[in-house]
Amino acid sequence: MVVISPATEKPVATVPDATRSELRYALAAADKAFASWSETDFAFRRECLFKFAEAVRRNEDEIAEALTREQGKPLAQARGEIAKAMAAVEKFTAIEIEPQIIRDTAEDRIELHYRPLGVVAGITPWNFPVILAAQKIAQALYTGNTMVLKPSPYTPVATLLLGKASIGAIPPGVLNIVSGGNALGAWLTSAPEVRKISFTGSGRTGQAVLKSAAANFARVTLELGGNDAAIVLPDADIDKAVPKIFAAAFNNAGQICMAIKRLYVHADIYHAVVARMAAMADAIQLGDGMDPESDMGPVQNRPQYQKLLGILDHTRRWTEGRIVAGGHVLERPGYFLRPTIVADIAEGSRLVDEEPFGPILPIIRFDDVDDAIRRANASDFGLSGSVWTADTERGAELANRLDVGTAWVNRHGGADAERPFGGAKTSGIGREHGLLGLHSYMEPLSLHVGK
Ligand code: NAD
């Protein structure tokens, strides 16, 4: 399978396109390894994952370059992704998983134990291939499961290098990485060995995964799309807030599930925020991620690029929206769209109602904060959201009214190993990260002892 650079549209690597029988081989290896791996203790598994993290760090140069070439992001950000991913591996393994005592009386004792499930299928998208793979690997393996992981066909190279780095750190059969197309994903999710599927990707594929899990009653965690709203109140310190908001909307060229995708700004500060956001967008150096001067790379793949151009065209033709920054592509090979800001636009447009998943942001005016919350919640998505204000207590109250899995005040984005993460509504099912997330990789067993 040929992997294309989004910056040059030229091939950067050729990787295996695993057949169904090769997948069966990986599943059989994972199934066999489960017998001994699930018997090891947390300390041993932590040690293996630490060795894995060390090996990845030793190979950072090679993995970061592969990630930039296949994904598009600037090399410094690829290095940052690897560093964060390995820090997450260590943080997950610092979480203690103990049986819970539910009752202990003279008559009886009830304990809640958590046991490994078996073979976990991991499926990842193309925006953060290393961090998303590493989080799934750490959670699945630390909790005593084995894994077969399938990266996106657009970005398999860095993930395969993670697999290579794991050799010697993690026993054979425990972690298996298979590259291939979408059909490989469907074969994997319907395999009888698979006890749990941890999927990150689009809602449409998430529905297919959920259906195929039904055949074997596989447990499922779905981390899906978002259309995150950020609500900026008139008392917000815009000198501090705007750079953070800009980063939360445009980092990784806007290709983040929990990027700010709808920016609601109070009328009193609307023009000031629009002007500053536009100035920040204009200052971005857009270019090949291998060029150290680039702040932002291309959109990762052609279909996604075309989708964004379609949304831009719709915005121009059918909305009142004013393009105040960007709005055009670079005249060179690659999928380069200037960071684009659209003001004076509202709900009812594709840009506001859909998840663009790219460097294009609508800024929407509001007068009344209750109205802003209502509009933020009037979406089928519910991944995350934020409120920006000088009054953090009021901000927390308002943020707590957002129909989302994660609500922030004066910040937006980022995943903590300790904090459960996942979506409300169509943004997902279940939670990853934190004790709640780790428990989702395990089967609870209630042990009731009569005395
Ligand atoms: P996608 O759904 O097209 O693909 C994701 C993965 O699923 C790929 O590995 C793909 O090969 C595989 N796949 C495709 N068809 C399959 C099938 N029938 N069965 C099993 N697997 C199949 O998503 P994408 O375009 O790669 O990713 C972008 C989406 O991911 C966006 O919507 C984004 O918001 C979302 N995302 C969510 C999170 C989160 O944590 N909530 C994080 C990152 C990205």
Q: Which atom of ligand 1 sits closest to the CA of residue 189?
A: 20
Handedness of CA 65, 130, 180, 32 (dihedral sign): positive
State the CATH number of the domain containing residue 390: 3.40.309.10
223 is catalytic: yes
| Domain annotation covers residue 116 | yes
User: What is the C-alpha separation between 136 and 97, in angstroms, rounded?
Assistant: 17
- Tell whether 270 and 209 lie within a shared domain: no
- Same domain, yes or no: 246 and 188: no
Per residue in 324-368, pLDDT (tens digit) is 999 999 999 999 999 999 999 999 999 999 999 999 999 999 999
- The CATH number that applies at residue 7 is 3.40.605.10
**Residue ranges around ligand 1 (CB below 6 Å):** 123-127, 150, 152-153, 182, 185-186, 189, 200-202, 205, 208-209, 223-226, 257, 355, 357, 383, 423, 428
Q: What is the pLDDT of residues 230-258, one digit of tens each?
A: 999 999 999 999 999 999 999 999 999 99
Nearest CA to ligand 1 atom 20: 185
Asked if residue 262 and residue 215 are part of one domain, the reply reads no
For the segment 276-285, the average pLDDT, to the nearest whole number, is 98
Task: Cite the beta strand spans of 255-397 per DSSP E.
Answer: 260-266, 322-325, 340-343, 360-366, 381-382, 384-388
Tens of pLDDT, residue by residue over 9-32, are 999 999 999 999 999 999 999 999
Q: Which amino acid is at 7?
A: A
Q: For a pocket test of ligand 1, which of 120, 123, 196 has the largest count of ligand atoms closer than 8 A to its C-beta?
A: 123
% the chain with pLDDT above 70 = 100
**CA distances from residue 46 to 1, 31, 50, 96, 440 in whole angstroms, order as listed:** 34, 20, 6, 11, 18
pLDDT at 257: 98
Q: 432 and 311 in one domain? A: no
* Full DSSP string of 35-100: HHHTTS-HHHHHHHHHHHHHHHHHTHHHHHHHHHHHH---HHHHHHHHHHHHHHHHHHTTS---PE
pLDDT for the residue 12: 97
- Measure 200 CA to ligand 1 centroid, in angstroms: 5
Amino acid at 426: T
Our count of domains for the chain comes to 2
Same domain, 32 and 162: yes
What are the φ and ψ backbone dihedral angles of 403, each rounded to 5 degrees?
A: -85, 75
C-alpha distance from residue 349 to each of 301, 314, 353 (Å): 24, 8, 6
In one-letter notation, the amino acid at residue 86 is M
Closest C-alpha to ligand 1, atom 38: 257
Considering the domain architecture, whether residues 265 and 291 belong to the same structural domain is answered as yes
Q: Are residues 57 and 189 in the same domain?
A: yes
Q: Are residues 303 and 392 in the same domain?
A: yes
> For position 202, what pLDDT does the model report?
98
| Global confidence as pTM | 0.98
Residue-wise pLDDT for 398-413, tens only, equals: 999 999 999 999 999 9
Quote the DSSP letter at residue 252: G
Q: Let me know if residue 397 belongs to a domain.
A: yes
Residue 138 lies in a domain: yes
Which atom of ligand 1 is the closest one to the Cα of 432?
40
Whole-angstrom distance between the N-terminal and C-terminal Cα of the chain? 61
Return the residue whose CA atom lies nearest to atom 17 of ligand 1.
186
User: Is residue 69 domain-shared with residue 184, that is, in the same domain?
Assistant: yes
- State whether 120 and 140 are in the same domain: yes
In this predicted structure, what is the pLDDT of residue 42?
Answer: 98
The pLDDT tens digits for 376-387 are 999 999 999 999
Q: Mark whether 217 and 253 lie in a shared domain.
A: no
Q: Structural domain of residue 18, as residue ranges?
A: 2-224+427-450
Per the residue annotation, which of 81, 193, 223, 355 is the catalytic one? Answer: 223
Whether 355 and 396 map to the same domain: the answer is yes
Residue 332: DSSP 8-state: S
